[in-house]
Structures are given as structure tokens and as C-alpha cells.
Amino acid sequence: MTHHRKASPLYRTAAIYYAKSTMWNVEEKFTPKQMENLAALGFAVGSTRGVIRVEKYGSGAEFRKGTDDMYQMTVVPTIMLKGRFTRLWDAGYQKFLLTDDGLKLPALATHLENLRKFNEELLTALGVPTFYNEALGSVSQISVYDRVKGRVGDVPDKTVGAHEPGTGH
């Protein structure tokens, strides 16, 4: 005799959460000297009209020079794909890389290991403290979580998450 357990109507799955912040305080500012020192520490540093792109291990971040001549992070550390920044999406069962042109690719273990290494080295190079809970693993920019029906966030907005190219999202 086979028993099938009916899912509880209290639960709904696949609500999507966009992380508003990662382990980086994007309001923090860095001196031109801190930016210059990154190349000496093995980072590939490119600069164009006040924008600095920092890359290493197939990962990258971007900083922009403000009116106070200090640099502020505008793209948090992420995995690079063909020279472009991606967003890391945690779909609950698999992490994916999302590109601005609609591509969705599975994130490999090596991508995540390299992102973590890049992130830790960049934090250290810029003198930003690393906290225990942040050093435990990859931080996704987009995540999928199960939500309890009736609570805020139980119904995701249709514009979030990965979509097939050409669907208008």
C-alpha cells in the first residue's frame, strides 16, 4: 500500500530574495593609495576615467572615484564571465550565474572557490575586517527561500529571478 503525503497548505516555495547588502559596506570609501596598492598584491587593475576594475581568479569588482577623490565600490565582488560581471543566484538546489544579456549558467564549485578567495584577498588588501558569519561561504545576490503562506515575501514578484530570454523581464 502506497501512502502519498499531501503538502501542507501553510507552505509555499520559491519566494525570491534579492540581497540588499553583502559582506561589503558599499558606503565605505577607499583612498587612491589603497587602490594603487592592489596591483602590487597581484590583482589586475584597470582604470578608465575614475572607474577602477579589479580582477583576480576569474572574479572582479568595480570602484568609482567620487568628488572627494575617494573610491567607492559600485560592483561588489562577483564572478566574471567573458570579461563581464555576473550576478550569483541561489535557486535553492543550485547556484547560477546570471548575465545582463539574459544568460543563465550553472555556477561551478571552482567559480565559488575563486570568488571566495578573491573576496577574502580584496577585503584584506583594503583593510576591511572579515566577520565570522560572512566568511562561512558564498554570498548570493539573489536567493530562493521557502516562505510560510501569509507572511511577507510568500508571493514573489514576477520580475525577480531568472527568466528565459525574450520574456520581457
* pLDDT 10s digits, 38-94: 999 999 999 999 999 999 999 999 999 999 999 999 998 999 998 999 998 888 788
CB 28 within 8 A of CB 72: yes
Q: Count Cβ atoms below 10 Å from residue 14 Cβ, excluding itself.
A: 12
Tell me how far apart the alpha carbons of residues 52 and 13 are, in angstroms, rounded to a whole number.
40
Run of H or E including 37: helix 32-40
* pLDDT 10s digits, 86-98: 998 888 788 899 9
The reported pTM is: 0.65
Considering 58-62, 133-137, 138-142, 160-164, the range whose residues carry the highest mean pLDDT is: 58-62
